[in-house]
Chains A and B, each alone.
Chain A
Amino acid sequence: MQTHEKFASFREGARAAVPVCFGFFGITMALGIAAHTAGLSLGEGVLMSAIVFAAPAQFPALELIPLGGQAVQILVSTFVINLRFAIMSFTLAPHFGRVRMAALMPAAHLISVSTFAVSFLGFQKKSVQDKFLYFLGVAIPSYTCYVLGTAVGYLFGVRIPGGFEEGIQFVFPAYLSALLAAELKERQLILLVGVAFLTTPVVERLVPGWGLILNAVIVATGAIGVEIWWESKS
């Protein structure tokens, strides 16, 4: 593959990252404010965003840190909350088959729900020649926005003006649903997406905090079962 073709994959990924950056800025400015309120220094707040890169684990930690003596609870909750990343890494691994471990080791740190979802949907396009570079194109700008947003929130305590919060909160679900709607053509996958969307609140109500992964595992396993049954029948 030519160098310019590889760079095109990175650029395409970076373009897809623009809405992620908007969404991340909204979340991480709140993280910066929470870090300031929790009594962390600017360096500590930015360090947390840079090396954890997982807002759902950072917010509870920022609640617990000021209490003191909560290290074990924070670490255990971080581990449990972030277990979902293992499934995302397992899913991405086959797409990065020929990439050397030396490149994968730093890149693995950039896996989040957002970078995973946008990259995975991008991988389905024929125009993406190099999936690893596409992933980096999505992940590096997103990660940069994440860390910068934390610093901006900490330093300036910036809040999104009233009336625009709804729009910012809606960026990411709108982007993902629009990507799904524009790109999905296979009937089974359209059906699966519809079922997974509708069953999430049910599973979330039954097992609070685990709806995202558990629902996806149940729906995916059901779908593969139906596919095997259908193939054996025909």
Chain B
Amino acid sequence: MVGEQVVIILGMGLATYLIRIFPFLLVPRFHPRMIRWFQFLSYGIIASFVWYGLAKGAPAPVTLSFRSLALALTVLVAVRSRNAVMGMGAGIVAVLVLSRIGL
């Protein structure tokens, strides 16, 4: 017999899957303006997600400040080098160093 916990987990999985698949079932045929809106929306979500990642679990403003400095360095290196991985690497090294010295 399946326990209550497994039933809850299966229910969570079903609810989440229906949300994910529903838009594909509609077989959307969008107007070009709508596609442009979705493009804007996607970039908006990604930018918001960067902010969430920056603020997540920041116990004090000082944590946010060194993460912000590291983010600025990430963007600068990525723009200059046109290489996302290099930018990310610079940012991670910066955040580790800054968190150690407690900036």
Where the two chains meet, the residues of A that have a C-beta atom closer than 8 Å to any C-beta of B are 19, 40, 44, 47-48, 51-54, 57-58, 61, 65, 68, 71, 74-75, 78-79, 82-91, 93-94, 96, 101, 104-105, 108-109, 111, 113, 116-117, 120-121, 163-164, 166-167, 169-183, 189, 192-194, 196-197, 200-201, 211-213, 215-217, 219-221, 223-224, 227-228
Contact = CB atoms under 8 A, between A and B. Distances in A.
B50 A48 contact: no
B88 A174 contact: yes
A215 B46 contact: no
Contact of B44 (A48, A65, A172, A216): A216
B12 A48 contact: yes
A173 B54 contact: yes
Contacts of A83: 19
B38 A71 contact: no
Nearest to B55: A201
B49 A178 contact: no
Given A79-B19, A177-B74, A166 B96 contact: yes
Contacts of A109: 17, 20-21
Contacts of A51: 9-10, 12-13, 16-17
A89 B12 contact: no
B48 A212 contact: yes
Given A75-B15, A169-B56, A213-B45, A197 B50 contact: yes
B8 A75 contact: yes
A182 B79 CA distance: 5
Contact of A19 (B37, B47, B70, B88): B88
A177 B75 contact: yes
Given A166-B96, A173-B54, A200-B47, A224 B36 contact: yes
A75 B45 contact: no
B49 A212 contact: yes
A220 B40 contact: yes
B57 A169 contact: yes
A192 B30 CA distance: 22
Given A75-B11, A82-B15, A120-B46, A93 B40 contact: no
B24 A196 contact: no
A178 to B, nearest CB: 3
B51 A111 contact: no
Given A47-B9, A189-B43, 14 more contacts: A52-B9, A58-B12, A90-B38, A93-B24, A173-B53, A174-B92, A175-B88, A177-B75, A177-B91, A182-B81, A189-B39, A193-B43, A196-B48, A216-B41
Nearest to A96: B24
B49 to A, nearest CB: 6
